Amino acid sequence: MLQFILRRIGISALVMLVASALLYFLTINSGDPLEELWESNADNRQQLIDARIANMNLDMPWWQRYLTWLGGAGRCLLLDCDRGLTRDGANVNTMLVDAAGASLRLVTIATFLAIIIGVTLGILSAIRQYSGFDYAVTFTAFLFYSLPVFWAAVLLKEYGAIRFNRWMGDPTMSLVTIIVIAMVLGIILAAVLGGGLRRQVITFLATALVIGGVVGYFDAVNWWHRPALGLPLVIVGGLAALAFMLVMTVGLANRRILYAGLVVVGLGVVSYFATQPLLDDPANWFVVLGLALLAAAVGAAVGWFMGGYERRVGMTVGAGTAVGMAFLIFMDHLLSAWSGFLARTPGRQIATIGERRLDPGRVELAFYENIYNWGIQLILPTIVLTVISIAAYSRYTRASMLETINQDYIRTARSKGLSDRVVYTKHALRNALIPITTIVAFDFAGLLGGAVITETIFGWRGLGAMFAAGLNNVDPNPVMAYFLVAGGAAVIMNMVADIAYAFLDPRIRR
């Protein structure tokens, strides 16, 4: 395995070397970096020309300029990078740190959401092949896959930002809107749960009534301006997290694991009151992450002591339920701070340009308000990048899952009397995920390339903006800095995919 990894690293380094030389040559020959200065009437025009020639090494032949850049980039192996200067004399290292932080934050969240949603939809589509749910997911996947990025981004700016900001001025819902929302969610849940016609009708009616009642109550109490979960919704969410963990592991039949999970939910109710002083402002991420780790440890300990002969499963269920409860408690505090953020941003909560709403250097923000300031601007570009990837993940997962569940060993598992839950989660899913690892690796690197268009539309000052500015200015150093990040991400993610192959299928290790 080590020899294989070293060989892949060597081949990847050679590919990046050749690609960097080609990209550098194409960039510097795409135009004249001094074009606007030749046409300038400024008194210090010659000084500006001389300064740009010095910053961009225009007095050198192209291959010498490339070798100069390559020498500085090669020093990154010694943790002493020198990526040169822009044509205006700005340090590319500083630009790259800021731009990479913004882009990687955006792409990482989009990839994470796309994997969870896309893989889940693909698994459910395969299990319910040729059902109404399968046809709906297939149609939606092809629709998302065919959407032009720029068109979807413009629509989201109109409906997700401009019209949402107008609605927040007087956030009320008509009876027709509430009924439509309840019916749509009822249809979705009935399709996901499946079953016979009678069961689907009961699921639809129950879901529609509950959702309609909740949305109507929220509208009556002006929840949209002063949101909060409260203890009842935290308990309901904790029970939902427990049910999900049980379904994915041992089911509802194992009473010891079920009781352990209920104990964890009870401890979560106690922690809802005990952690109030710690999570109120002024809070910080160290406190939040520390409490989350503590919750996972306590949940795992409860599962260990109460799990009986399935202690490892008990630890998994307990830790997962505890983390779910901790997340809901954190969200309760975060939602409670929404009214304060509204007061600071009257009439325009979601900005259509930029990666933050307020400047923390000029406005003093509380912890939760700062989360809104940075996080709310992630919503629209994240949705654009996510829906593009969901289509691929769902289709590949469906195809892989269908191929796996038709294998002989799956039929053998069913003939032994194993339940569908065990067959799908413990036998089929792991092998079905092997081809998906390749998609994840390429998609992460591909999103960095696709983010160029998204960042341009939303005014996101990330790698895409730096890359576009470098091309427009015939400035190779910012372009090559983007190439290092995108190319390095492609190499690293492909290496992770190879290692994941060996983890998922031990035969690949040999």
Residue-wise pLDDT tens digits, 327-356: 999 999 999 988 888 888 776 777 777 666
Q: How many CB atoms lie within 10 A of CB 355?
A: 21
Mean pLDDT over the full length of the chain: 84
What's the mean pLDDT in 258-268? 94
What's the pLDDT at 264?
95
Going from N- to C-terminal start, the domains of the chain cover 2-94+438-509
* Structure token digits, residue 320: 């997962």
Instruction: Specify the higher pLDDT residue, 495 or 393.
Output: 393
Using the predicted structure, report yes or no on whether residue 7 has a pLDDT greater than 60: yes
Inter-residue contact 21 to 15 (CB < 8 Å): no
- Residue 131 burial (CB < 10 Å; 0-12/13-18/19+)? middle
Instruction: Specify the higher pLDDT residue, 496 or 183.
Output: 183
What's the mean pLDDT in 27-34? 85
| Model confidence band, residue 364 (pLDDT cutoffs 50, 70, 90) | confident
Among residues 440, 444, 421, 413, the alpha carbon closest in space to that of 501 is found at: 440
Q: How many CB atoms lie within 10 A of CB 322?
A: 30
| Lowest mean pLDDT, pick from 138-147, 422-431, 468-477 | 422-431
The phi, psi pair for 91, rounded to 5°, reads: -75, 125
What's the pLDDT at 324?
94
Rg for the chain (alpha carbons), in Å? 27
- In this predicted model, what pLDDT tens digit does every residue of 116-136 receive, in sequence order? 888 888 888 888 888 778 888
Among residues 380, 145, 182, 379, the alpha carbon closest in space to that of 137 is found at: 145
| Model confidence band, residue 22 (pLDDT cutoffs 50, 70, 90) | very high
Inter-residue contact 136 to 149 (CB < 8 Å): no
- C-alpha 508: how far from chain center: 29
First to last CA, the chain: 8
What's the mean pLDDT in 206-223? 91
Angle at 464 between CA 477 and CA 357, to 5 degrees: 125
Task: Give the separation between CA 100 and CA 104, rounded to whole angstroms.
Answer: 6
User: Taking the model in full, what pTM does it have?
Assistant: 0.80
Q: Which of 98-102, 234-238, 249-253, 434-438 has the highest mean pLDDT?
A: 234-238
| Lowest mean pLDDT, pick from 46-60, 164-178, 435-449, 462-476 | 435-449
Among residues 448, 450, 440, 437, the alpha carbon closest in space to that of 388 is found at: 450
Task: Give the separation between CA 438 and CA 495, rounded to whole angstroms.
Answer: 10
What's the mean pLDDT in 145-173? 84
What's the mean pLDDT in 45-67? 86
* Structure token digits, residue 489: 């991400």
